[in-house]
Amino acid sequence: MADPAVPLPAGAGAAEREALGPRGPKPRHVFSRRNIFLYGTLFVVAVYYLLPLYVMVVTSLKGMPEIRLGNIFSPPLEITFEPWVKAWATACTGLNCDGLSRGFWNSVRITVPSVLLSIAIASVNGYALANWRFKGADTFFVILIVGAFIPYQVMIYPIVIILREIGLYGSLSGLVIVHSIFGMPILTLLFRNYFASMPEELFRAARVDGAGFWGIFLRIMAPMSLPIFVVAIILQVTGIWNDFLFGVVYTRPDTYPMTVQLNNIVNSVQGVKEYNVNMAATILTGLVPLIVYFISGKLFVRGIAAGAVKG
């Protein structure tokens, strides 16, 4: 092979230059066929994914007359926030007409303690499974993970009985317990794998230093695990906020979470359908998880990947 560093002898023909081929960086075409296809496809798909959100927003900002006459995709001619106010404060669900605000606060009262309790239980448990293995622990853990695949429908009625026995059926505390139970498999797995991936020697060093079960957890492990706690919080906040089934089974109308109330507002058969109010209510319900999603960014992806890829 000719060494490209050696200059061609004087008088070398054009054919010889040609044979050596081009030099320098490869030319790049921004508008190559590949790029047009690539970005074109991605753009079309992105529009498809964004369209429902867009329609929701524009519908919620229109008045009913405009909705009846116009096109769901067209932007509002006259922006009105009245549907939002109505959805929040005065929309009717069955007996009471105080809007989604009641459901919102119920959901807050359900989500906050459920997230805290489930993460507290699962993190300590995952730590025990990773670092303080005892006989039989893995058996229960396997049952727990396998149990995550059992359809909820199989277990909802026995739980109704248990909650009724301890006097928590229909109360928010009962629902908090249910969320903690069903959040346990995935969270325990998440924490167990995380703690197991931490260097074992760190745990041993802490033991030589004399720290015990709780000392090592609170002073060494937990401070090192902030990312996984954030992932768990994201996972739980969105999961519990979005729950419908447990809300409808284990609460009463005055303690219904936001999703259940939203469904009752939109799908109620009485009265004239107010699509703008419905869409405003829908956005309001989706707002909390959406905010969590957009703030958390990559951690959300990590959370669902961790939540999804089991074992």
By CB under 8 A, is residue 31 in contact with other proteins? no
Q: How many CA atoms lie within 13 A of 257 on its CB side?
A: 28
Of 8-16, 17-25, 64-72, 80-88, the segment contacting other proteins by CB under 8 A is: 64-72
The 6-25 contact track toward other proteins, x by CB under 8 A, reads: --------------------
At 100, which amino acid appears? L
Residue 67 CA to residue 116 CA, distance in Å, equals 43
**85 or 220, CB closer to other proteins?**
220
Under 8 Å between Cβ of 108 and 284: no
Of 19-27, 37-45, 89-97, 168-176, the segment contacting other proteins by CB under 8 A is: 37-45
Residue reference for tokens 């959901």:
107
Query: Phi and psi of 176, rounded to 5°?
Result: -60, -45
Of 20-28, 33-41, 86-94, 164-172, the segment contacting other proteins by CB under 8 A is: 33-41
Of residues 119, 181, 105, 195, the one with CA closest to residue 148: 181
Residue 261 CA to residue 266 CA, distance in Å, equals 9
Residue 218 CA to residue 230 CA, distance in Å, equals 16
Burial readout 217-230 (b: 16 or more C-beta within 10 A, e: otherwise): beebbbeebeebee
Query: Phi and psi of 251, rounded to 5°?
Result: -120, 165
Query: What DSSP state is assigned to residue 221?
Result: I
C-alpha distances (whole Å) from 199 to each of 193, 194, 203, 216 are: 12, 10, 7, 13
Among 16, 98, 209, 254, binds other proteins (CB under 8 A): 209
By CB under 8 A, is residue 101 in contact with other proteins? no
Among 49, 65, 165, 272, binds other proteins (CB under 8 A): 49
**Cβ at position 11, least distance to other proteins in Å:** 36
By CB under 8 A, is residue 64 in contact with other proteins? no
> What is the size of the binding site for other proteins (CB under 8 A)?
107
Residues numbered 186 to 205 that lie near other proteins (CB under 8 A) are: 188, 199, 201-202, 204-205
**172 or 241, CB closer to other proteins?**
241
Among 108, 168, 181, 233, binds other proteins (CB under 8 A): 181
Under 8 Å between Cβ of 17 and 9: no
**Cβ at position 217, least distance to other proteins in Å:** 9
Q: What radius of gyration do the chain's Cα atoms show?
A: 29
User: In this structure, what token pair is assigned to residue 65?
Assistant: 């007359």
Of 13-21, 81-89, 168-176, 286-294, the segment contacting other proteins by CB under 8 A is: 286-294
Residues numbered 107 to 166 that lie near other proteins (CB under 8 A) are: 121, 124-125, 127-129, 132-135, 137, 140-141, 143-144, 146-147, 149-159, 161-162
By CB under 8 A, is residue 81 in contact with other proteins? no
Residues numbered 257 to 276 that lie near other proteins (CB under 8 A) are: 259, 262-263, 266-267, 275
Residues numbered 222 to 241 that lie near other proteins (CB under 8 A) are: 223-224, 238, 241
By CB under 8 A, is residue 176 in contact with other proteins? no
